[in-house]
Amino acid sequence: MQMHMETMTSRQRIIRTLRREPVDRMPIDLGGHYSTGISAFAYWHLREYLGLDTANIWLPDMVQVLAFVDEDIRRRFHCDCVLLHPGWPRLQVWTPRAPYIFGIPSSAVPQLTVNGEWIISRRNGEQVRQMCMPEGGYFFDGDWINNWHECDDDTLLRCMAHQAKLIYNESDYATMYIGGFDAFFGNIDFLCQMYTDPQGVHDINRKKLESALKKASMVIEAMGEYIQLIEINSDMGMQTGPMCSPSMFEKFVVPYLSKLCKFIHTHSDYKVFLHSCGSIKPLIPMLIECGIDVLNPVQVSAADMDPFELKAKFGDKLIFWGGGCNTQQVLGRGTTDEVAKDVRRLISAFKPGGGFVFSQVHNIMGDVPPENIVTMLDTAYVESWYTSQKNLPEPSEKL
């Protein structure tokens, strides 16, 4: 069996992958983003399966009930990224059901109903927002309530910048800023408004762009060299295709998204990471022209998202971050052999020539067996090595 030796730090490996420079192996991400993570329920079972302590699991995302991925798990599975999250000001213990015990922000107050549901409510002025986890469920549905930091935006940015500095100085992980940038792409009412009130859509996006540029300037100043990417989050795809026509996307989204990406690239060395689920292949050429550098989660189970075609058509212009295991149809339902086969197939599509960060398609759900998770990540590491670098692009001078 051929033995390999890592010759780069995790951060170097990510940066060189983003530059399409030669690397020792493809990077691996578990939990560096809120769509590359793992349900706290699955994480509890994974830690138990590996003989690790389950007493200190805490949730950086209350809606999706995601676990913060700890150092021991990151090292066990050779992960190269860490989530940029400053932690909650105060933690309390929440037991959704035995045997699970999770740390959650103390300002979140889950209430158990007589029907066995967990309800979390939060008042915003006259409005009461509410989300619900059904009995036996694994995540909350309803309103997206996840701002439990108990501070204003400026203070939160300073806390995140401090955490980014710690990650940079005290570890070799890569990280990214995730904080409310979107791609000027709204909900179903917004999409309908493209037809009924086009001027209103432009007015909305002009105001959003003005706000986004101010925020990007503040993030760049605060984060400095400590992060490698800025995330933009807008789900643009359904299972069957984009949520709007490419012509409408070009008219109402491209003018604004391109200006935001240009600002980030002009004023920093950061790459722009776009999270968009679904079938979005017809939009990808425009996303690239806008300045999107990285695409996640690469939903290979959606229509017209064949991994080999995506890599062949866009692999020289776009970094694929995800798409490494089919979570919708294989990871939670298949055998370990089927999981390993799926991982090897998808890596064979995305890995050649570089420009690929391995992660499963979106988060690992709460009922995924731990042996499937171990198989996925161990297979990814075995398949990660570049035994020959002759086909990789030449190094560039700037990130």
| Alpha-carbon distance values, 391 to 73, 110, 322, 355 (Å) | 32, 53, 22, 12
For residue 101, being part of any structural domain is answered with no
| 63 within some domain | no
- CATH number of the domain bearing residue 276: 3.20.20.210
Task: Provide the residue type at 165 as one letter.
Answer: K
* Whole-number pLDDT of residue 3: 67
Residue of 366, 236, 375, 245 whose CA lies nearest to 297? 236
- Backbone dihedral angles phi then psi of residue 119, each to the nearest 5 degrees: -120, 135
Q: Which residues of 273-290 are buried (b: 16+ CB within 10 A; e: fewer)?
A: bbbbbbbbbebbebbeeb
Rounded (5°) CA angle 187-193-194:
100
**Inside any domain, residue 157:** yes
What is the full DSSP assignment across 64-124? TTBPPPPHHHHHHTT--B-------SSEEEE-SSTT--EEEETT---EE-TTS-EEEEEEE
Task: Assess contact for 382 and 56: CB atoms under 8 A.
Answer: no
Rounded to an integer, what distance in angstroms lies between the CA atom of residue 343 and that of residue 394?
27
pLDDT at position 24, please?
A: 97
pLDDT at site 296: 98
* Domain count within the chain: 1
Whether residue 247 lies inside any domain: the answer is yes
Cβ neighbours, 10 Å, residue 311: 22
- What is this structure's pTM? 0.94
Single out the residue of 243, 279, 296 nearest to residue 35, CA to CA: 296
Pairwise CA distance, residues 244 & 283, whole Å = 10
User: Prior bond to 370 cis, omega within 30?
Assistant: no
Cα–Cα nearest to 353, from 381, 317, 382: 317
Q: What are phi and psi of 364, to 5 degrees?
A: -75, 120
Query: Strand pairing partners for 187?
Result: none
pLDDT at 395: 40
Q: What is residue 388's predicted lDDT score, i.e. its pLDDT? A: 57
CB 270 within 8 A of CB 227: yes
pLDDT per residue of the chain (399 residues) written in tens, 0 to 9? 456 899 999 999 999 999 999 999 999 999 999 999 999 999 999 999 999 999 999 999 999 999 999 999 999 999 999 999 999 999 999 999 999 999 999 999 999 999 999 999 998 778 899 999 999 999 999 999 988 998 999 999 999 999 999 999 999 999 999 998 999 998 888 999 999 999 999 999 999 999 999 999 999 999 999 999 999 999 999 999 999 999 999 999 999 999 999 999 999 999 999 999 999 999 999 999 999 999 999 999 999 999 999 999 999 999 999 999 999 999 999 999 999 999 999 999 999 999 999 999 999 999 999 999 999 999 999 999 997 544 444 444 344
Element (H, E) at 347: helix 336-350
In-domain check, residue 136: no
pLDDT score recorded for residue 343: 98
Q: Which helix (H) or strand (E) holds 261?
A: helix 254-267
Q: What is the pLDDT of residue 17?
A: 98
Structure tokens at 46: 């994974």
C-alpha closest to that of 157 among 166, 146, 149, 167: 149
| C-beta separation of 325 from 342 below 8 A | yes
113-120: long-range contacts (C-beta < 8 A, 24 or more apart)? Answer: 120/62, 120/145
Domain that holds residue 296: 10-51+70-87+150-382
Q: Number of helices (H) and strands (E), helices first, in the chain?
A: 12, 12
Q: Which own/partner contact pairs does 107-114 have at CB distance under 8 Å and 24+ positions apart?
A: 107/148, 107/150, 108/62, 108/145, 108/148
Residue 108 within any structural domain of the chain? no
Cis, bond preceding 22 (omega within 30 deg of 0): no
Write the single-letter amino acid at 247.
S
**Strand residues in the chain grouped as ranges (E):** 91-94, 102-105, 111-112, 118-124, 127-133, 141-142, 176-177, 229-233, 271-275, 294-296, 319-321, 356-357
Alpha-carbon dihedral angle through residues 26, 385, 23, 163, given to the nearest 10 degrees: 40
For residue 116, tell me if it sits in a domain.
Answer: no
Pairing mode, if any, of strands 176-177 and 229-233?
Answer: parallel
